[in-house]
Structure 1
Amino acid sequence: MASRIEMVNPIVEIDGDEMARVLWHWVKDMLILPYVDLKTEYYDLHVKKRDETNDQVTVQAAEAIKKWRVGVKCATITPNAERVREYNLKKEWVSPNATIRKILDGTIFRAPIMMRNIQPAVRFWRKPIVVARHAFGDIYDGVGLRFQGPVEAEIIVKQGDGRTLCAKFPKIDGPGVIQGIYNIDKSIESFARASFRYALENKLDLWFAAKDTISKVYDARFKEIFNNVYESEFRDKYEAAGLNYHYFLIDDALARVVRSEGGFVWACKNYDGDVLSDFIASAYAGTLALMTSTLFSPDGYFLSEAAHGTIQRHYYRYLKGEKTSTNPTAIIFAWALALKRRGELDGTIELVDFAFKLEKAVRVTIEDDKVMTADLAKVAEPPINRTVDTESFIIAVRRNLEKLLHKSNP
């Protein structure tokens, strides 16, 4: 390429922790900066930076996405007691992802990155299963208490009109724990609408699963809102497209998922989606490094990230000077998706084309060249005996990217 691709508006770049942070900069330095005149508004969400700013940097990053509409995020630590000691933190800060999702009020779509030579562990699956995860409320914004019992407990809600609502728990023999969670109709409606729209645009059926037979108020409200949104806004469109919407109890849904051929969006409440998206990723490829994670908000905000975490064990080995065979595919795709979205919004065709070629370069590397990190080699068909370290994998991707770009610009 004679010159780097120019950008009109920036992407909000959110840096992270540990090995994911190392991979983040390798990918950016070797696969993006040589070809794109990258404009970003940078926020460092390293756990120490969050601690120093009392987590205000996380809020600032989310507000920046509202301004620029596109963000890309590296994996971050959600500290527990052990991590507080390790990094000498002030407290156990809440999940930065939960903070960002609450501010943007989006729905997370997690989709497998399917490769020809990596077959799903579930032999029936031939098409992708996309998990749509509600990104608001549930345990991520809940409260909890430990108590010495026996106790009597109740939930008291004071409404704006002065009325009070009350729900009592059965008498509790203690000691024990108690938890309260909530959600709001507006967010559930946005979740439903985003799920129906995504499935329609991608020509996939939509499944929604909950447990309204047991959770007769909380889960039942989700079911009711999904049905209302479908009937009032999407039934005619789905029937015209030959698509279907199904509600299942979540245990029944899981059984159906395992024996299905795939090819649908599975909408889940926040915690359910957190757990089941990892299950889907592992069942497709045995690794979270072959799954994309994108957040869409009803106001048009977009955030892409890798579905995996900070890769702590590999980071400790890296600090000792060891080379690791850590798979950067999901991080590469996160950058590609953000660049693609930025280009679509700004009308920058060259940027969109580059993003597609970056994804294709990864596929050529894995499918045709059979160059793989250790996690992929053991699940490939046929198995691959030789694996490469992370930097060698990125170099191989760059080599294929150069070829694809040269074809377009001889």
Structure 2
Amino acid sequence: MTGKIEMKGAIAELDGDEMTRVLWQAVKDALIAPFVSLKTEYYDLALARRDDSDDAVTREAAAAIRRLGVGVKCATITSTAARAKEYGLKRLTPSPNAIIRSELDGTVFRKPILARNIRGTVRCWEKPIVLGRHAYGDVYKNAEIAVPGAGKAELVFTAADGAVTRRTVAEFRGAGVVQGIHNTDESIESFARCCFRYALSEGIDVWFGAKDTISKIYDGRFRSIFERVFGAEYRARFEAAGICYSYTLIDDAVARIMQSKGGVLWACKNYDGDVMSDMLASASGSLAMMTSVLVSPGGAFEYEAAHGTVQKHYYRYLKGEKTSTNPVALIFAWTGALAKRGELDGTPELCAFARKLERATLDAIEGGDMTADLARIAEPVASAALDSWQFIGRIAERL
């Protein structure tokens, strides 16, 4: 007997890059391994590994999440020309998050992690704002061309019966760029249902924002599908629960959000959700104070840290410095995955441990132990900022 909590099923563990990869291991070693007999299927999604496998490892990881029902993911690098040179890549690798989301479909729900002594910059927010981000298509599954010079760019669709629909995108008089994006009715319907179900489970209103005044066909399709699904399947249930659904233009939604008290699910298309979730996290205190879970229509859940790999801190770490990088989103990715595994497997002690770890993390912050990003905005101001390892140690003491 180890005295640790035993897991029945495994979790797909997706490791990442740079500073978050370092802290990923530190969190496991100090906060999870001493208490849980961790059972995972491990996939190394470091940038070089993805490049070597031509992203096969990313697709294998997505398949494991679908098969096991639960995954947990560290932050990863999406390559750029500069990153390709730095890491000696053979090609520009796609976003691993985009690949996983495309494989699993579904919706990403992001919610701020609130501590009583951390006040965000938007003081009217009294309750968390949940952001529901569509996880398929748009710019993350695009096709794009660098236009070398004068010519005509066209959008062409060839139907299964051979019929061709053609639209002119632009007449180029010189060099430029052109991009094509897409989505599917099936995915948009899943997005709508995920948002409405989540809102019912939380008892909160749903606001959906798009730009159908400009994108009358593409964004207009999102709006019409949301309204159809809501009217046919959820209107009566929302009325019984005392909550409502409303559509508004995305720019109006931003203005409303900035003046609201919170306590609402803000549904966004893929790119809008990417940008606005970072705005919500930053305005609530820190990019590291945000939970993120991908909910697939097939019943799979992927918990992740929604921020980047903290590149600058990693370079300092390589020089031997102890950085004050906030690991809270990494911790909550693990707690979310462990709690869901416990829920699916009927292991209440695993669920209870996950909640205790979350509480210990918040108790540390509310007790004055925090990293530099939070120390600057705490009320009262923290007397000192801890490095990441000290902060993790204070949480471990509370456990």
CA distance, structure 2, for counterparts of residue 335 and residue 180 of structure 1 = 36
CA distance, structure 2, for counterparts of residue 277 and residue 364 of structure 1 = 25
Question: What residue in structure 2 maps to residue 337 of structure 1?
Answer: 336
* 1:207 to partner: Cα distance: 0.5
- How many residues align? The count is 399
Question: What residue in structure 2 maps to residue 363 of structure 1?
Answer: 362
CA distance, structure 2, for counterparts of residue 327 and residue 145 of structure 1 = 39
* 1:146 to partner: Cα distance: 1.7
Question: What residue in structure 2 maps to residue 398 of structure 1?
Answer: 396
Greater alpha carbon shift after TM alignment, 5-14 vs 48-57: 48-57
Kindly indicate whether residue 218 of structure 2 is the aligned counterpart of residue 240 of structure 1: no
* 1:387 to partner: Cα distance: 1.0
Kindly indicate whether residue 346 of structure 2 is the aligned counterpart of residue 347 of structure 1: yes
Question: What residue in structure 1 maps to residue 54 of structure 2?
Answer: 54
Question: What residue in structure 1 maps to residue 34 of structure 2?
Answer: 34
Structure 1, residues 234-263: CA drift from partner, whole Å, max 9, x if none?
Answer: 100100000010100011110011011111
Structure 1, residues 321-352: CA drift from partner, whole Å, max 9, x if none?
Answer: 00111111110000000000000000001000
Question: What residue in structure 2 maps to residue 406 of structure 1?
Answer: none
- Which residues of structure 2 form unaligned runs of 5+? none
Alignment of 1:18-33 (within 5 A): 18-33=18-33
CA distance, structure 2, for counterparts of residue 345 and residue 323 of structure 1 = 38
CA distance, structure 1, for counterparts of residue 204 and residue 15 of structure 2 = 33
Question: What residue in structure 1 maps to residue 150 of structure 2?
Answer: 150
Kindly indicate whether residue 221 of structure 2 is the aligned counterpart of residue 208 of structure 1: no
CA distance, structure 2, for counterparts of residue 244 and residue 77 of structure 1 = 38
CA distance, structure 2, for counterparts of residue 200 and residue 166 of structure 1 = 42
> TM-score by structure 1 length?
0.96
> TM-score by structure 2 length?
0.98
- Which residues of structure 1 form unaligned runs of 5+? 402-410
Structure 1, residues 272-315: CA drift from partner, whole Å, max 9, x if none?
Answer: 00111001111111x11100110001110100011111010010
CA distance, structure 1, for counterparts of residue 394 and residue 355 of structure 2 = 17
CA distance, structure 2, for counterparts of residue 373 and residue 151 of structure 1 = 54
Counterpart residue type for residue 375 of structure 1: D
Computed over aligned residues only, the root mean square deviation of the Cα atoms, in angstroms, reads 1.1
Counterpart residue type for residue 179 of structure 1: Q
Counterpart residue type for residue 373 of structure 1: T
Counterpart residue type for residue 110 of structure 2: R
* 1:87 to partner: Cα distance: 0.6
Question: What residue in structure 1 maps to residue 120 of structure 2?
Answer: 120
Question: What residue in structure 2 maps to residue 290 of structure 1?
Answer: 289
Question: What residue in structure 1 maps to residue 386 of structure 2?
Answer: 388
* 1:200 to partner: Cα distance: 1.0
Match of 2:284, SS? helix
* 1:170 to partner: Cα distance: 4.6
CA distance, structure 1, for counterparts of residue 316 and residue 339 of structure 2 = 34
CA distance, structure 2, for counterparts of residue 179 and residue 164 of structure 1 = 19
Counterpart residue type for residue 138 of structure 1: D
Kindly indicate whether residue 110 of structure 2 is the aligned counterpart of residue 110 of structure 1: yes
Structure 1, residues 15-67: CA drift from partner, whole Å, max 9, x if none?
Answer: 00000000000000110010001100000011111111111000000001111
Question: What residue in structure 2 maps to residue 327 of structure 1?
Answer: 326
Counterpart residue type for residue 340 of structure 2: R
Match of 1:168, SS? strand
Alignment of 1:143-222 (within 5 A): 143-222=143-222
